[in-house]
Chain A
């Protein structure tokens, strides 16, 4: 068997779901596809899946790490949507399951391919697969969200294509057949500095649009805020990381050809700007789903800062990618439970959550604490590693700005989460919370806790190996 199976399985699931008229059976296809993908991925980690010539698939620690995250989040989304759509039927009928599985297939290609061209195509495919999902409510607000999403991400992807052209150009005029294969670029003797710089700028801005880095973030809160909650979880927990992986692929090439110090200020600058704008906008949020979306912008900013700093911070950023994404997906699931119960996305309309939905309320508070970097959850470790990296590389001012912005974001989130969890009338009766809607967020939080309490040696090795290709080191 080879890595192609990781793409064919979700595609097969999508086909089965497309042909199946029965909603309940389509959900079985969805969960089966997600589960099979997860199992195949464990085979890939143990080295049982060989590379594939078709689509130039190969398995490396960085891509494997991101794909595992995507697969875990996707599995949780599949389970959660079974419960969620018993309460809220999707308008898109079978489009829903087909697009979800289509997203998994295209995200797998993004993570596994060795070729920048194929990665670009697959990245566009993820946009196309998620657009109908965002539009699922079929109302004014969701059409505005999906219009912005498509327009901005399409502009981004067009710029990324230009960047991809320039990457080929950077190999010089004399090269008869420039290659877009990453493994070839990693071992390319010399890349033309000016063309490579131009390529990096366009690839960074292009894929950065999809990551939601400021100032290209404007689509993100709309799309994440208006999409059905399981889709918001998928966008935040999986899609943003795929897009960030595309930037990391360029950083890998930059590191291999000794240009990485040139890119560091760009990553740190855009990262801090994202954290700043997100923190400022978090302070005035009245909608809890948009609040979580801005928090995603902030955390993508943290990843960019970490990867820009290098050394221990890169290791921290990769760990943070795992921790914060799992937290964020979990929080979006809880937001879905809140929305089902209160029928409003306004923070002012939600109070007494802990009394009305005790489990969801507790998960909301715990998820928020984990995301904010409270020990013993994983983001605590990863943010510490990023700060250590800032000091190691002699940039304490980055560490200072990082801490200040994190505190602002913490205060903004804390006041809103507390307002939602507490208060309300004392007499309110406890509502029934189905297990389908509780297990996915709880399971993801347990994973975040496990990552924080005990970072297993094999995982540590994988993180260190991935960080090493980006110019980082184990702390």
Chain B
């Protein structure tokens, strides 16, 4: 099933670029949702034959990363009547260029690190690092609080992909990461975004500039 795993990993990379290029917040969130569903399929492709554990991870991931978080973000966006434009401080073209560099760097890093095991493709580590870095790019170059949350989710997805290599051998590791997403994404950032909307009448985190030296 190595072929299927590689295909899924490449699709994950592709959704990263969709997020980088997106000019509308709704598209951003949909791309993140698509990535979440792909990430849910990954453990089924990597760990053959299926065990209850990998099935559990798959279902939980699709539910949290693919459905729950994106629909929460969509709902929050409607409630807070956020304007749909992303308003990045870095244009789509330079974002994508930065993304390409990130993928190159991730590839270089993954060949430097020793191989994890025979049935885990080297592409997994590269995809993990690339997703992590692209998440970081989105996080640092978007001004809307909601886009920053999407960037954070991408970053976490990168960590999750790496964890899949271990999920069969170390219990509960990947589950912890998914739980972190849920807690940070929904309970905290969601609430803060609401308060921010009330206090600042805007979700533009670029307006958060009072505290400086």
Q: Is A131 an interface residue (CB 8 A)?
A: yes
Closest 10 CB pairs of A and B: A144-B208, A222-B211, A162-B159, A173-B117, A154-B184, A168-B170, A158-B156, A165-B163, A158-B159, A161-B159
What is the distance, in angstroms, from A136's C-beta to the closest C-beta of chain B? 12
**Contact partners of A151 in chain B: CB under 8 A:** 139, 148, 152, 189
Task: Tell me, in angstroms, the Cα distance from A352 to B210 when the chains sit together.
Answer: 28
Chain A: which residue is nearest B163 at the CB level? A165
**Contact partners of B180 in chain A: CB under 8 A:** 124, 154, 157-158, 161
Task: Tell me, in angstroms, the Cα distance from A177 to B167 when the chains sit together.
Answer: 10
What is the distance, in angstroms, from A223's C-beta to the closest C-beta of chain B? 9
**Contact partners of B208 in chain A: CB under 8 A:** 143-144, 147-148
Contact of B162 among A120, A165, A281 (CB under 8 A): A165
B172 engages A139 (CB within 8 Å): no
**Contact partners of B176 in chain A: CB under 8 A:** 117, 120-121, 161
What is the distance, in angstroms, from A100's C-beta to the closest C-beta of chain B? 17
Q: Is A221 an interface residue (CB 8 A)?
A: yes
Judged by DSSP, the binding face of B is helix
Contacts of A132-191 to chain B: CB distance below 8 A: 135, 138-141, 143-148, 150-151, 154-155, 157-159, 161-162, 164-165, 168-169, 173, 175-178, 180
**Contact partners of B10 in chain A: CB under 8 A:** none
Task: Tell me, in angstroms, the Cα distance from A233 to B136 when the chains sit together.
Answer: 31
Contact of B169 among A121, A128, A141, A176 (CB under 8 A): A176
Q: Is B183 an interface residue (CB 8 A)?
A: yes
A147 engages B113 (CB within 8 Å): no
**Contact partners of B71 in chain A: CB under 8 A:** none
B169 engages A140 (CB within 8 Å): no
The answer to whether residues A164 and B173 also contact, given A192-B114, A284-B213, A290-B213 and a CB cut-off of 8 A, is yes
B195 engages A135 (CB within 8 Å): yes
Task: Tell me, in angstroms, the Cα distance from A236 to B210 when the chains sit together.
Answer: 22
Contact of A131 among B156, B158, B188, B210 (CB under 8 A): B188
In this complex, the interface size class of chain B, counting residues with CB under 8 Å from chain A, is 35 or more
A225 engages B166 (CB within 8 Å): no
- B interface footprint on A343-378 (CB within 8 Å = 1, 0 otherwise): 000000000000000000000000000000000000
Q: Is B32 an interface residue (CB 8 A)?
A: no
A178 engages B113 (CB within 8 Å): no
16 pairs, CB–CB < 8 Å, chain A vs chain B: A124-B180, A141-B211, A143-B199, A147-B192, A147-B196, A150-B188, A155-B155, A158-B159, A158-B177, A162-B158, A162-B162, A168-B166, A169-B166, A173-B115, A178-B169, A178-B170
**Contact partners of B200 in chain A: CB under 8 A:** 140, 143
Task: Tell me, in angstroms, the Cα distance from A290 to B212 when the chains sit together.
Answer: 10
**Contact partners of B132 in chain A: CB under 8 A:** 162
What is the distance, in angstroms, from B53's C-beta to the closest C-beta of chain A? 13
Contact of A226 among B152, B211, B213 (CB under 8 A): B211
Q: Is A56 an interface residue (CB 8 A)?
A: no
B199 engages A139 (CB within 8 Å): yes
What is the distance, in angstroms, from A170's C-beta to the closest C-beta of chain B? 10
What is the distance, in angstroms, from A118's C-beta to the closest C-beta of chain B? 9
Q: Is A198 an interface residue (CB 8 A)?
A: yes
Q: Is A194 an interface residue (CB 8 A)?
A: yes
Q: Name the residue in A121, A158, A159 with the highest tally of chain B Cβ atoms < 10 Å from its Cβ.
A: A158
What is the distance, in angstroms, from A285's C-beta to the closest C-beta of chain B? 7
| A residues neighboring B (CB under 8 Å) | 117, 120-121, 124, 128, 131, 135, 138-141, 143-148, 150-151, 154-155, 157-159, 161-162, 164-165, 168-169, 173, 175-178, 180, 192, 194-195, 198, 221-222, 225-226, 281, 284-285, 290
**Contact partners of A120 in chain B: CB under 8 A:** 176
B152 engages A194 (CB within 8 Å): no
- A interface footprint on B47-73 (CB within 8 Å = 1, 0 otherwise): 000000000000000000000000000
B152 engages A154 (CB within 8 Å): yes
| B residues neighboring A (CB under 8 Å) | 112-117, 132, 136, 139, 145, 148, 152, 155-156, 158-159, 162-163, 165-166, 169-170, 172-173, 176-177, 180, 183-184, 187-189, 192, 195-196, 199-200, 205, 208-211, 213
Task: Tell me, in angstroms, the Cα distance from A140 to B197 when the chains sit together.
Answer: 10
A150 engages B170 (CB within 8 Å): no
B166 engages A145 (CB within 8 Å): no
B172 engages A143 (CB within 8 Å): no
Chain B: which residue is nearest A140 at the CB level? B199
The answer to whether residues A221 and B213 also contact, given A154-B152, A161-B180 and a CB cut-off of 8 A, is yes
**Contact partners of A194 in chain B: CB under 8 A:** 112-114
Task: Tell me, in angstroms, the Cα distance from A117 to B196 when the chains sit together.
Answer: 33
Chain A: which residue is nearest B118 at the CB level? A173
A198 engages B113 (CB within 8 Å): yes
What is the distance, in angstroms, from A291's C-beta to the closest C-beta of chain B? 10
The answer to whether residues A165 and B166 also contact, given A124-B180, A151-B148 and a CB cut-off of 8 A, is yes
A281 engages B159 (CB within 8 Å): no
Contact of A178 among B152, B163, B166 (CB under 8 A): B166
What is the distance, in angstroms, from B196's C-beta to the closest C-beta of chain A? 6
Given contacts A117-B173, A161-B159, A281-B213, 5 further A-B contacts (CB under 8 A): A151-B148, A161-B180, A175-B169, A195-B113, A222-B211
The answer to whether residues A117 and B172 also contact, given A143-B195, A151-B152, A222-B211 and a CB cut-off of 8 A, is yes
What is the distance, in angstroms, from A91's C-beta to the closest C-beta of chain B? 11
A168 engages B173 (CB within 8 Å): yes
The answer to whether residues A195 and B114 also contact, given A144-B211, A176-B169 and a CB cut-off of 8 A, is yes
Task: Tell me, in angstroms, the Cα distance from A281 to B212 when the chains sit together.
Answer: 11
**Contact partners of A141 in chain B: CB under 8 A:** 210-211
**Contact partners of A290 in chain B: CB under 8 A:** 213
**Contact partners of B184 in chain A: CB under 8 A:** 150, 154
